[in-house]
Structure 1
Amino acid sequence: MRAIPSPPPIRSTLVALLLAGLAAQTPSPLMASTANQMAEAAVEAWKRGDHRAAHPLLKRLALEGDPSAMTLLGVMAARGLAGPRNPAIAAAWYMRAAEQDHVPAIRALAAAFRRGEGVVQDEARADALEARARQLSAEPMAARR
């Protein structure tokens, strides 16, 4: 049986940016208070290293459409931070966030395709995703809306 290699370390800067993006989300005024409280609680739990506490909060935010939460759930699944390591679930969360043009998710998905982790290895798709991430990074945020 072939051992599954661990993915490369996640850059702390990427996680910090995702957490900052999560904390800065501004949902509809009706849901703002609850969503902001959940986001703040998830960020605090993550910072404490309590990923099991952060997971349900992030999942709820992700199911409400938050791409930063989706990407963090992908990171958690890829690393096994709140349960067993599951690259397929990680890739699925990255794909959902990438559909919203979330650059960190697109980059994580490209890396998954390049390594064949959770998806069939596909260098061409990885290259296309990396090109898309570069394109989005060069565009002003207002142009994406």
Structure 2
Amino acid sequence: MPTLHTPSLRHGFSVLLLACLPMTAAWAGYDDGVAAYQRGQHGVALKEFSDAAARGDARAQRSLGLMHERGDGVPRDPALAAEWYRKAIAQGLPGAQYNLAFVTQAPTAGAPAPVQVATSHP
């Protein structure tokens, strides 16, 4: 029976640990970002979300989209928010689709409201 001292088992265990590290780090950055955001520390949240998003965390990508959409700690930028939402969607986060639809439908300040024309047929 192989033990942890067997080279092949020790190698397999090391590979498993290394495979889990990026996911653990991404979760930590996202969770730290949420905690900072809730405390109103938007600069800290931005850094944590940015780090986690760079590692592929879709939740952090969506959070960056929200920050840019709302202008929380960053200049309000709906176009950049949409980019972050698209990245989160590409990672498989369905909630980001709602955010993308909302940010692309919302008129910008000073822009004319879209006009809807109703038609009827006799």
Change (3 A) 1:38 1:103: same
Residue 44, structure 1, aligned to residue 35, structure 2:
yes
SS in 2 for 1:52: helix
Contact 2:33 2:48 in 1 (8 A): yes
* Cα RMSD (Å): 2.0
Q: TM-score, normalised by structure 1?
A: 0.56
| Structure 2 unaligned residues grouped into runs of 5+ | 1-18, 109-122
Counterparts of 1:71 and 1:33, CA distance in 2: 18
- Residue 110 of structure 1 aligns to a residue whose secondary structure is helix
> Taking structure 1 as reference, are residues 49 and 100 closer, same or farther at Cα in structure 2, changes over 3 Å only?
same
Q: Which residue of 1 aligns with 2:61?
A: 70
User: How many residues matched?
Assistant: 91
Q: Do structure 1's residue 101 and structure 2's residue 92 form an aligned pair?
A: yes
Corresponding position of 1:92: 83
Q: Output one character per residue of 1:22-78: Cα deviation in whole Å (capped at 9) or x when no partner.
A: xxxxxx412344334323321210110111111011011111111110011000001
Residue identity over aligned pairs, in percent, reads 33
Aligned equivalents of 1:113, 1:80: Cα separation in 2: 16
Task: Give the residue type in structure 2 aligned to 1:84.
Answer: P
Change (3 A) 1:114 1:33: closer
Q: Contact conserved, 2:78 with 2:104, CA < 8 A, in 1?
A: no
Distance 1:110 1:32 in 2: 28
Structure 2 counterpart of 1:45, one-letter code: A
Once the two structures are superposed, residues 71-105 of structure 1 have per-residue CA deviations (whole angstroms, 9 ceiling, x without a partner) of 11000001110121111110100111111231211
Per-residue deviation, 1:116: 5.3
Q: Which amino acid aligns with 1:43?
A: V
Greater Rg over alpha carbons, structure:
2
- Cα shift readout 1:83-139 (whole Å, capped 9, x = no counterpart): 21111110100111111231211001111232356xxxxxxxxxxxxxxxxxxxxxx
Report the TM-score when normalising by structure 2: 0.65
For structure 1, the residue ranges without an aligned partner over 5 or more in a row are 1-27, 118-145
